Amino acid sequence: MWAKSGHLTRTQNVQPRTNLSIRLLTNVTIDSNAFAGTSTLQTLKLIFGRRLFPDISIYILSLGEDSFSGLSNLRELSITNAVINSTGHPLEPLKNLKRFEWAESRMKEVPMEHLASLPHLEELSLRYNAISTLRSNTFVNLKNLRALDLSSNRIQEFEIGCFNGLENLENLNLSYNRFKLLSNEVWNLPKLKVFIVNDCRKIDKKILEDSAYLSNIEIKCNGYKDAREGWGID
């Protein structure tokens, strides 16, 4: 890997590796074609900050249209502790990406524009951020998504239609958020099998009744009550 003045200019000695993890201690710009010649890579992890005694800073990852060119076979991308400053659609070259994690980055909104470039995505994790509202049609382009992790955010509101497009979702984690009620009015997940919602307050019982494929539910919290009938689990 060649880095200069906060720029990742190119990688070397990557072939025939399939996994690459890079720890970064400063704001970084990934230059155009920095990953040229890395077609064997299937997993890329960009981790910002120290491993021991981590600071509380959020770093900036700057991306252009061709920053990820050359990663045509990448299946998994993980970005930790960084906001993305981008021009164009930097994730568009990742045609075969199946799993995307963008965690611990204090984002306040689901990055809809970036996700629109990843129609073949099957797993998405946005855990440990600061998302407060799930907007209508946020995931509408992710028809192939099977697993969604939104745990440890600050979600308080679910807009009607926020789960549109997730007809094939099988695994959903909404644990450790701030919503007081999860209503059946926003629910549109007909194939959901696994539902994890620790530290919740109220869930419309109709959600559970109408989820025909639901086989695994994890609810660990104090004072859970069904919104319609008022039964509780301590």
Query: Same domain for 84 and 111?
Result: no
Q: Note the pLDDT of residue 2.
A: 56
**123 belongs to a structural domain:** yes
CA distances from 140 to 118, 173, 179, 217 (A): 11, 18, 22, 25
**63 belongs to a structural domain:** yes
Domain count for the chain: 2
Distance CA 46, CA 213 (A): 36
Could you list the residue range(s) of the whole structural domain that residue 51 is in? 1-88
Q: Is 84 left (phi over 0), alpha (psi -120 to 50) or beta?
A: beta
**93 belongs to a structural domain:** no
CA distances from 100 to 82, 87, 204, 229 (A): 14, 19, 30, 38
- Cβ atoms within 10 Å, residue 19: 12
Query: Same domain for 128 and 176?
Result: yes
Regarding beta strands 224-226 and 232-233, do their DSSP bridges make them parallel or antiparallel, or are they unpaired? Answer: antiparallel
One digit per residue, the tens of pLDDT, for the chain of length 234 reads: 555 678 998 876 666 789 999 999 999 999 999 998 888 999 999 999 977 655 667 899 999 999 999 999 999 999 999 999 999 999 999 999 999 999 999 999 999 999 999 999 999 999 999 999 999 999 999 999 999 999 999 999 999 999 999 999 999 999 999 998 888 989 999 999 999 999 887 888 888 888 889 999 898 764 555 444 433 333
**187 belongs to a structural domain:** yes
Q: Note the pLDDT of residue 231.
A: 35
Distance CA 138, CA 100 (A): 16
Query: Same domain for 74 and 134?
Result: no
CATH number at residue 118: 3.80.10.10
Distance CA 161, CA 136 (A): 5
Distance CA 167, CA 212 (A): 13
Q: Which pTM does this prediction carry?
A: 0.90
57, 88, 119 - which closes a domain: 88
Query: Same domain for 109 and 212?
Result: yes
Distance CA 190, CA 124 (A): 18
Query: Same domain for 138 and 117?
Result: yes
* DSSP helix/strand/coil, 206: helix
* DSSP helix/strand/coil, 209: helix
